[in-house]
Structure 1
């Protein structure tokens, strides 16, 4: 989907973020409830105050925690956004058991035509096509033969599309990030609770093979009491952001003219939050972010873009590197990094440390006592027995990103077909995305801590399953 002028953060969002700044600076210490058995509880002196912020709005519906999908023989999917991501994910939806693509939507008619042809070429019934303007997704969401709406559009559309899908009775899953403003995250929580529809951040990195192995090892206690972790999105996107065919409009580069901070925290934050049972016995309390100067995109433009190119009218403010520290209710620390405008090999860091050892990714390596000593890293491949059952069942999944896309969609649609509780929910998506507006606010406030809302409204204290799920029928 394309939008020439994405809307700016609302005054209400800015005011709420500003209120969170003051709340974050004054957080103190206090006692906490016990943690799940996978890690030792923090002492009162080590715990962090988790009193709800005055900005927390009143609940408008019952919690969606623990709410299962309605079982169904076939999951009928409507896809909104048929660009680089959405167009490629059709192949995976067609490869899933018990899934049918019933509708596709994009304002570019040629993309809809190609998507319809791809579905019919696979021997499936012809899906309905929607290409009458940027808001034709509303008509798609009105269809009775769509159970789940998959959103793969520019970020500025995510909030509106998720809200529309739920208000029309559909469950919805969206690519990262869930929304761009704090008040939008709260509204998606409220709409999900009111409509009883799930709104899911489809974070594929939570289903990476390494991430799921470390998750099971952490929950089994192999790292001891968990103390710290790190996640990142470090990916040189300069060439793609100046490619008008890859990021049309070009919508993604334009966000670098609007916000500073971590624009894409989910890939790094989601897996580490799972390791630490965030929203399932612990919660993210505050974030502090610092950002470097913005230099990379302007330097790339100087070297590669011809005079008169529309990009010369842009002024980039997004930090080339943003570094955030998130503290949890139990005093743990999570480091998040975002860097897409400079030369650097791809990395998500993916680090987890505890009292018995540490795992570090890119490349994967592990150090656990008492097996390892003399400062020598161990072989992570030796821990293959700890692979999640999803990876044991699907050792060579189709699709990109090492198979994690397929594993994620397989598990999601399995939960929908069997009537299971999803592995994550709207509260997780809101938490993983909150660093977008809050890191921007922290940088503008010279690193002042920002309170991360408790989107669960107190339900985070109770341990519950997540991505470390039990095999159905096991």
Structure 2
């Protein structure tokens, strides 16, 4: 297993990437400073992908790379959509692609399968009969696979985070602009029904001028990161000791960036970040290693801290707090706080609450808000999404919307600038931590276009023609 992993890194060129200072985010001051150097790089914009509508596709021909925890679910969701043909499936493990193929065979899909070889995914991406490559692999492979696929004429959906380094963020942006292929980071939390409701309320002025937002990924993963079976070849545990900072910012950040019109009317300006020490994972690794030799390589490692707090100020003077904690025994939370001059929203702890004064609204008042502000996309597909599932339906709603936009020649809700910007908080937080929480400028991946880009339209005036099989 470990030999296969090393070969994969070597043959794909990812071994060099994984050893680079930008990927590790730790080490000497010179290595950390390279993050700032990359953040200062501003290549010219060759084409503005914000609002870009690619030529419509009657049928979206899809290839899926990575049939693990997320990948199997994605295949099953795509299988529920008319106008989709699943042409190819890829994973290192032959049993995974065969299982996925079997699950969709009743719908008439006959995908070609790719497995075994560390670089077999390239054969999938090189196919001439694919329109979209859906990438659901460990983080280190997201950008190389997305860039390769776009360079071979494919639109890309890539799991979160889309990139691990600032350099990778720029690679995604420059490749998408040059090829004019969509690169959408599949941030499913943007399609949670409450987040969509809050977004619609914000667009219609319920909160007044929004001045501050908070988001988070607080999820106790202690058992899962040390599981021998959950994360293939222990890849996420490896991330936890090789890197520092907010490793997974986009679940909490994505929805509030949409509320604040980031990249489309406002832009991040600078960031500061601070982390606690690790008080959990190191001791767990030591205890497990004493009982099981399998864990000995992790004993004595310096793991990422329990809690990271990253704060961001925007060009228009708004503020954002993003938290990250996957090793403390805390209930799940993405916070999702939206604070404006006229009102406030807070999702966690659930149920979501809204206020325009000193107290939270009553359940009856909340139901009235839902009736008035629930966006058309939820009214149209919400019940179907709940039946299909995927984190309560938001995964299916995301995939349905993406496929529907491609089939109707509409701009996607998330573009490559969102993928790059939201992902960049990871390496930027590492630099700030290494520099005693000093601030670092956030790259403007739109190169000024944020001042004229328009917010994403969720009115559903166009599209909505893709049907679901349930």
CA 1:72 to 1:465, structure 2 compared with 1: closer, same or farther past 3 Å? same
1:18-75 per-position Cα deviation (integer Å, ceiling 9, x unaligned): 267599xxxxxxxxxxxxxxxxxxxxxxxxxxxxx7521233x222122212212111
- Matched ranges for 1:122-201 at <5 A: 122-201=106-185
Partners of 1:258 and 1:205 lie apart in 2 by 26
Q: Which residue of structure 1 aligns with residue 12 of structure 2? A: none
Partners of 2:293 and 2:217 lie apart in 1 by 28
Q: TM-score, normalised by structure 2?
A: 0.89
Partners of 2:61 and 2:138 lie apart in 1 by 23
Partners of 2:161 and 2:295 lie apart in 1 by 24
Q: Which residue of structure 2 aligns with residue 325 of structure 1? A: 311
What SS does the aligned partner of 1:403 have? helix
Which of 291, 296, 302 is residue 307 of structure 1 equivalent to? 291
Gaps of at least 5 residues in structure 2 are 10-14, 465-470
Partners of 1:408 and 1:302 lie apart in 2 by 40
Matched, 1:388 2:371: no
Partners of 2:118 and 2:195 lie apart in 1 by 36
What SS does the aligned partner of 2:79 have? helix
Partners of 2:258 and 2:82 lie apart in 1 by 27
Q: Which residue of structure 2 aligns with residue 337 of structure 1? A: 323
Matched, 1:409 2:399: yes
Which of 444, 464, 470 is residue 434 of structure 2 equivalent to? 444
Partners of 2:58 and 2:122 lie apart in 1 by 25
Q: TM-score, normalised by structure 1?
A: 0.88
Q: Which residue of structure 1 aligns with residue 417 of structure 2? A: 427
1:199-229 per-position Cα deviation (integer Å, ceiling 9, x unaligned): 1111000010000000010111110111000
Matched, 1:10 2:20: yes
Matched, 1:460 2:450: yes
Q: Which residue of structure 1 aligns with residue 254 of structure 2? A: 270
Matched, 1:112 2:112: no
Q: How far does residue 97 in structure 1 lie from its aligned partner after superposition?
A: 2.0
Q: How far does residue 470 in structure 1 lie from its aligned partner after superposition?
A: 3.4
Which of 49, 62, 73 is residue 88 of structure 1 equivalent to? 73
CA 1:376 to 1:436, structure 2 compared with 1: closer, same or farther past 3 Å? closer
Number of residue pairs aligned between Structure 1 and Structure 2: 440
CA 1:473 to 1:124, structure 2 compared with 1: closer, same or farther past 3 Å? closer
Q: Which residue of structure 2 aligns with residue 348 of structure 1? A: 334
Q: How far does residue 154 in structure 1 lie from its aligned partner after superposition?
A: 0.4
Partners of 2:116 and 2:109 lie apart in 1 by 22
Contact 1:261 1:443 in 2 (8 A): yes
Matched, 1:242 2:232: no
Partners of 2:110 and 2:101 lie apart in 1 by 6
- Matched ranges for 1:19-98 at <5 A: 21=36, 54-59=40-45, 61-98=46-83
Gaps of at least 5 residues in structure 1 are 24-52
Q: Which residue of structure 2 aligns with residue 39 of structure 1? A: none
1:183-203 per-position Cα deviation (integer Å, ceiling 9, x unaligned): 011011011111111111110
Matched, 1:103 2:113: no
Which of 457, 461, 464 is residue 471 of structure 1 equivalent to? 461
Partners of 1:125 and 1:394 lie apart in 2 by 24
Matched, 1:205 2:192: no
